[in-house]
A and B are shown apart, each in its own frame.
Chain A
Amino acid sequence: MLLGLISIVLIPNLGDAKFRIPLTSVRVPVLLGGSRFEVTNDPRMPNRISNITFLVAFLSSLVLISESSEEVGGVLMADGFSRLFSTMFLGALLLVSIATTHRIPAKTNAKIPDDSDSKAVSDRKISVLIDNRRQVDFYILLIMVGLGMTMMTMATNLFMMVVCIELASLSTYVLVAFHKESPSGGEAGAKYFIVGSVASAIGIYGMSLLYLWSGSLDLDVLRESWHSMDGVDPFAAFGIGMMLVAFGFKVSAAPFHLAAPDAYSGAASPISGLLATASKAMGFVALFRVLVIITVPEGAEALWMVALGIFAVVTMTWGNLAALTSENPKRMLAYSSVAHAGYMLAAIAVVGSGISSTEESVVIITAVTFHLAVLVLFKLGAFLVIAHLETEGKGHSIEDLHGLGQRDPIIAGSMFLFVLSLAGVPPLSGFLSKLLMINGIVSTSASTGASSSADIASWAESVDPLFWLAAAIVLNSALSLFYYLRIGLVMFFEEPISKKSLKAAPSLRMAIFTCAILTVLCGVGPMSEWLLDLVNGAIDSFMHQ
């Protein structure tokens, strides 16, 4: 109990500590003003602090992951579910933070441009100085995201949850627009911010409708009043529907996904990876809390089931079709992320169908959560490979991947592993999670088909329409193979754009290799078993609370 409390307090506190240390001179009044210390003024300092912060937070939450649950202040609840997701978020943030070391490089020996320099040289020097200057801002924002996300997983009050989501979101808006000097960075930030804030506003309006209806925003109270409601109260239904818009934007489900490809391609790749994994997982946590806990009636069809199922199919198909035609690898990964959101929404739709037993629902939610967890590995890994290309100013067109296999076989091999895992090829972790989701859908729905029907047409008519969600996932996965394999083909077959090997970026490479190795280990063997057990246990207690 005490340990749980510490972990909750620890994470924000570490975040706070981060605020001060880069400007150490502030903390001790005597040292205010004057010249700064060499050590604390080192432009690499914020990166180190952020790495250490996330590492400590990640390790401590990993250690505490199976502690008992505990309530804090009535609005926060640290249980297995929230601990699992905090660990996931912190792991993703740790990887992003490590990877950004080379994406936004800090140079200790930056020089001030003088008059003798040409325009180009002085521009370059200035951009180095800018990068040095804004190190602190970047990592503060990153830690803010971490704070918002970890608090969000623990929220048991709708209001608290939305506030935490906003804390994380506002930071990501800035992070997306962080490269404000480049046109695409500014465009990405503006689009993402406008669409995101409209979605949040709609969500908050929906929340206020819910408050009008039930008089409380506590999840348990909402759940009880939902279950005791006669028929469907329009306030409640509209409220939930509007909140779905906000969360749909977070998970980048069609038709709220339109900003996502622009945001992903304009942001620095580690940030895009963060949006595609942790930010999306945050949206799913909200969906779990709101949809699964509040509004799933016992043994009957939930209000939103049909809508969500249709959204899911549209999302995955749209995402895959758009990805097929993308020439920018980051946009392609963005659309593939949209498609993955579709797969997961399809699985959640089945939970709301009312024909799945609690055990089956647990398996399905476990599958989705497991998918979110391993997505951090291979989706983020793929974005980090693009980040590696970005260190030399490339990575915005598929040609930049040409011949990567010859320039750097190990990075290219990792990238190939990531795309195969995204496509769901056994024995990688992407296959395991996708199989679990399809299994959940099929085992719930296929039994509804008439067993005696002789030919396939009559069987197909008799089976529950949910079965076709599984078929849609399978067909979409087959479709997605084309663009995933295309990446592999251009990496190994096309002539390289330059003979030089990639820029040295040791910590970024380390992050990529970590992702690659874990992608394999989480697909087969004891590691996957451990993770799956963990997820299953957490979801089991979550669903039975």
Chain B
Amino acid sequence: MISDPLTVITLVPIIVSLVLLILPKIASSAEGLARASRAISMGVSLAMLAITTMIFFGEIGNVDWSNYNSGYYLTNDPVALIPSIGVYWKVGADALSFPMIWLTTLLIPISMLVEWDAKKGHLFHPLILMMEGALIGVFVSLDMFVFYAFWELTLVPMFFLIMVWGGEDRKYASMKFFIYTFTASVIMLIGILVMYFYTPEVASSGSITGHSFDMSVMISSSELIPSEGLRHLVWLLLLIGFATKMPSVPVHTWLPDAHVQAPTAGSMLLAGVMLKMGAYGFLRIAVSAFPESTVAFIPLLIFLGMASLVYGAWVCMGQTNLKRMVAYSSVSHMGLIFLGIATMQPLGIAGALFMMFAHGIISPLLFAVAGAFKHHYHTLEIGSMRGIAHHSPWLSAHMMLGWMASLGLPLLAGFVAEVTILIAFWMSFGWLVLLPTLTLIITAVYYLTSMQKTIFESNDPHQGIMPDTLHGEEPRDISWHENAGMIILGALTILFGILPFIFWDMMSEWSSGFLLETLVQAMQSEGVKP
């Protein structure tokens, strides 16, 4: 059909968004302009969703993933960008990246839909579209230079989304977001450069430096880095870059601020896809290239994961701000991903992958709910508004579903991920599993408490308690477009809870292949039992 679909879904959104941003004179009035750019952005993002869905039902869905070595699918012929230093445009997808690509193309139109009526001018939706291209670029590029360029490019639209359309403290939040993630990615860049300098001489590539940024070359040649200490150091540099993005304790502090201040669509994308970039990069680059270091640092991973999990959940209990609570719950869930990787079990890694995906549909739902709550009740304080089930039945239904999914109710997507990670954790570390399991109880506590405070508890069954910020207005239920977006996300949460194998199969096969090919040897040499 399309010869090179991955390039198309990366570049088309960026080009269209640039055109929409630069040429604002396509309509006479400001409102018509906003409408036109909104419609075009939505159309493009839907087309991208159609393409990725078709890829799934066509090629990707029928691949035998267990053979990890067979590499990437849908690759293109490399196009030279800067051959002198070995930079090529090379894209591909595999079971690690494809669910993320699909998730991105899904969330972009939904986040646009949720903010469909937001009076935010003609630049808002194109920026989201640019975000789509940059995010997909991170997931598809197989060249480290291009990967890094897209990694940085994702900062730009998100930075503007927060800074221009954010809440009251938006300047502080966007600055903090930018400084944290930028500093971390510069540290990561140093790690990448060290890897680059050790890639072997590539003959006849026209490279005057004699090195290559090709991701597979870099990964396979990481063995050439002479000393183990240096390998560990590079691994740690990469970890800092990826862990800040994820974010893991202790470098998570940008996240709550960014989330609370970001507009709804921004929060959805931030939690839904941008955090996964960290986990993706960690698996794709740090673990693949330095399996031995990964195995050697398993205790560190467990510590980071456990710290994020427990600390995130603990802080959640004390939160009175809805968005802040959801943000800390994201920190907590990202901790589970580290734990899943640290198990070194196929099940654990597959669970981590599924966690990336499941959290990618649940947390946008939660942020959409929080955004709608803010929109209609003008507050984010938990407990200031009680008994919304009466006034906003749809909103409370979505809120309930999202929270239930997030705390890991069986038959919802989050459960699959959590339970597999915990089983794998038990298989590797025995009774230590009690720690994360008990933390999940904390999760249940804070969700159920706030659920009671917000949705149900009410002195007067007909009236509820109104927040002051409503100024006596009659509270309404959510509008159709918010509802539609949330229904899709909720339906997917249920769908992937009941039928997880849609993506689970490829994830688990990929994980066992990945484990066999890259990690087992490292584990043996480090004396860790697989």
Question: How would residues 215 to 238 of chain B score, 1 for a CB under 8 Å from any chain A CB and 0 otherwise?
Answer: 000000000001111101100000
Of the stretches A179-187, A231-239, A451-459, the one at the interface is A451-459
Of the stretches B28-36, B90-98, B186-194, B242-250, the one at the interface is B186-194
Across the interface, which residues of B come within 8 angstroms of A492, CB to CB? 163
Query: Chain B contact residues: over half helix, strand or loop, or mixed?
Result: helix
B149 to chain A, nearest CB (A): 4
Across the interface, which residues of A come within 8 angstroms of B85, CB to CB? 432, 435-436, 439
Within 8 A of B (CB), among A261-275: none
Question: How would residues 384 to 418 of chain B score, 1 for a CB under 8 Å from any chain A CB and 0 otherwise?
Answer: 00000000000000000000000000000000000
In the complex, what distance in Å separates the CA atom of A427 from the CA atom of B196?
Answer: 15
CB–CB A366/B193 < 8 A: no
B230's nearest neighbour on chain A, judged by CB, is A456
Of the stretches A20-28, A213-221, A442-450, the one at the interface is A442-450
Across the interface, which residues of A come within 8 angstroms of B182, CB to CB? 481, 485
Question: How would residues 480 to 516 of chain B score, 1 for a CB under 8 Å from any chain A CB and 0 otherwise?
Answer: 0000000000000000000000000000000000000
B239 to chain A, nearest CB (A): 16
Of A363, A432, A451, A493, which one neighbours B175 at CB under 8 angstroms? A493
Question: How would residues 130 to 174 of chain B score, 1 for a CB under 8 Å from any chain A CB and 0 otherwise?
Answer: 000000000000000100110010000000000100000001000
B83 close to A (CB within 8 Å): yes
Question: How would residues 450 to 471 of chain A score, 1 for a CB under 8 Å from any chain B CB and 0 otherwise?
Answer: 1111111111000000000000
CB–CB A443/B84 < 8 A: no
CB–CB B193/A438 < 8 A: yes
B303 close to A (CB within 8 Å): no
Across the interface, which residues of B come within 8 angstroms of A439, CB to CB? 85, 196-197, 209, 211
A160 close to B (CB within 8 Å): no
A133 to chain B, nearest CB (A): 42
Across the interface, which residues of A come within 8 angstroms of B197, CB to CB? 439, 442-443, 446
In the complex, what distance in Å separates the CA atom of A425 from the CA atom of B149?
Answer: 9
In the complex, what distance in Å separates the CA atom of A439 from the CA atom of B207?
Answer: 12
State how many residues of chain B have any CB contact under 8 Å with chain A.
Answer: 34
Count how many pairs of residues, one from A and one from B, have CB atoms less than 8 Å apart in the complex: 90
B27 close to A (CB within 8 Å): no
CB–CB A427/B149 < 8 A: yes
CB–CB A529/B189 < 8 A: no
Given contacts A426-B148, A489-B175, contact A456 B82 (CB under 8 A): no
CB–CB A481/B82 < 8 A: no
CB–CB B171/A529 < 8 A: no
State how many residues of chain A have any CB contact under 8 Å with chain B.
Answer: 39
B149's nearest neighbour on chain A, judged by CB, is A427
Given contacts A435-B193, A485-B182, contact A529 B226 (CB under 8 A): no
In the complex, what distance in Å separates the CA atom of A528 from the CA atom of B87?
Answer: 12
Of B171, B175, B186, B233, which one neighbours A481 at CB under 8 angstroms? B186
Across the interface, which residues of A come within 8 angstroms of B80, CB to CB? 529
CB–CB B179/A529 < 8 A: no
Question: How would residues 346 to 361 of chain A score, 1 for a CB under 8 Å from any chain B CB and 0 otherwise?
Answer: 0000000000000000
B176 to chain A, nearest CB (A): 11
CB–CB B229/A524 < 8 A: no
B210's nearest neighbour on chain A, judged by CB, is A443
B434 close to A (CB within 8 Å): no
A157 close to B (CB within 8 Å): no
CB–CB B209/A459 < 8 A: no
Across the interface, which residues of A come within 8 angstroms of B152, CB to CB? 425-426
B19 close to A (CB within 8 Å): no
Across the interface, which residues of A come within 8 angstroms of B148, CB to CB? 426
CB–CB A529/B230 < 8 A: no
B2 close to A (CB within 8 Å): no
CB–CB A532/B81 < 8 A: no
A302 close to B (CB within 8 Å): no
B2 to chain A, nearest CB (A): 23
Across the interface, which residues of B come within 8 angstroms of A529, CB to CB? 80, 82-84
Within 8 A of B (CB), among A409-456: 425-427, 432, 435-436, 438-440, 442-443, 446, 449-456
In the complex, what distance in Å separates the CA atom of A33 from the CA atom of B81?
Answer: 61
CB–CB A451/B226 < 8 A: yes
A314 close to B (CB within 8 Å): no
A393 close to B (CB within 8 Å): no
A126 close to B (CB within 8 Å): no
A514 to chain B, nearest CB (A): 17
B208 close to A (CB within 8 Å): yes
In the complex, what distance in Å separates the CA atom of A452 from the CA atom of B84?
Answer: 30
CB–CB B227/A532 < 8 A: no
Given contacts A426-B145, A438-B193, A492-B163, contact A459 B230 (CB under 8 A): yes
Across the interface, which residues of B come within 8 angstroms of A432, CB to CB? 82, 85
CB–CB B189/A426 < 8 A: yes
A127 to chain B, nearest CB (A): 39
Across the interface, which residues of B come within 8 angstroms of A459, CB to CB? 226-227, 229-230
Across the interface, which residues of A come within 8 angstroms of B84, CB to CB? 436, 528-529, 532-533, 536
Within 8 A of B (CB), among A475-525: 478, 481, 485, 489, 492-493, 524-525
Across the interface, which residues of B come within 8 angstroms of A474, CB to CB? 190, 193
Across the interface, which residues of A come within 8 angstroms of B190, CB to CB? 474, 478
Of A440, A454, A524, A533, which one neighbours B81 at CB under 8 angstroms? A524
CB–CB B149/A426 < 8 A: yes
A161 to chain B, nearest CB (A): 28
In the complex, what distance in Å separates the CA atom of A451 from the CA atom of B183?
Answer: 31
In the complex, what distance in Å separates the CA atom of A366 from the CA atom of B210?
Answer: 14
Across the interface, which residues of A come within 8 angstroms of B232, CB to CB? 456
Across the interface, which residues of A come within 8 angstroms of B183, CB to CB? 481
A455's nearest neighbour on chain B, judged by CB, is B229
In the complex, what distance in Å separates the CA atom of A533 from the CA atom of B83?
Answer: 10
Given contacts A426-B149, A446-B197, A525-B81, contact A536 B208 (CB under 8 A): yes
Across the interface, which residues of B come within 8 angstroms of A454, CB to CB? 227-229
CB–CB B227/A453 < 8 A: yes
A360's nearest neighbour on chain B, judged by CB, is B210
In the complex, what distance in Å separates the CA atom of A425 from the CA atom of B230?
Answer: 24
In the complex, what distance in Å separates the CA atom of A443 from the CA atom of B227?
Answer: 16
Across the interface, which residues of B come within 8 angstroms of A455, CB to CB? 227-229
Given contacts A425-B152, A426-B189, A439-B197, contact A525 B82 (CB under 8 A): yes
A459's nearest neighbour on chain B, judged by CB, is B227
Across the interface, which residues of A come within 8 angstroms of B230, CB to CB? 456, 459
CB–CB B87/A524 < 8 A: yes
A405's nearest neighbour on chain B, judged by CB, is B163
B467 to chain A, nearest CB (A): 31
A269 to chain B, nearest CB (A): 27
CB–CB B227/A456 < 8 A: yes
Across the interface, which residues of A come within 8 angstroms of B189, CB to CB? 426
Across the interface, which residues of B come within 8 angstroms of A481, CB to CB? 182-183, 186
A432 to chain B, nearest CB (A): 7
CB–CB B149/A528 < 8 A: no
Q: Which one of B152, B190, B197, B210 has the greatest number of beta carbons of chain A within 10 Å? A: B197
B74 to chain A, nearest CB (A): 23
CB–CB B233/A456 < 8 A: yes
CB–CB A363/B208 < 8 A: yes
CB–CB B209/A436 < 8 A: yes
B178 to chain A, nearest CB (A): 8
B196 to chain A, nearest CB (A): 8
A470 to chain B, nearest CB (A): 9
A461 to chain B, nearest CB (A): 11
B187 to chain A, nearest CB (A): 8
Interface residues of A (CB under 8 A from B): 363, 366, 425-427, 432, 435-436, 438-440, 442-443, 446, 449-459, 474, 478, 481, 485, 489, 492-493, 524-525, 528-529, 532-533, 536
Question: Beyond A454-B227, A458-B227, A485-B182: 7 further Cβ-contacts under 8 Å?
Answer: A439-B85, A442-B197, A455-B229, A492-B163, A524-B87, A529-B84, A532-B208
Shortest 9 CB-CB contacts between residues of A and residues of B: A456-B229, A459-B227, A451-B226, A455-B229, A427-B149, A439-B209, A442-B197, A532-B84, A453-B227
13 A-B Cβ contacts within 8 A?
Answer: A425-B152, A426-B149, A435-B193, A438-B193, A443-B209, A443-B210, A454-B229, A456-B229, A456-B230, A457-B229, A459-B227, A481-B183, A524-B149
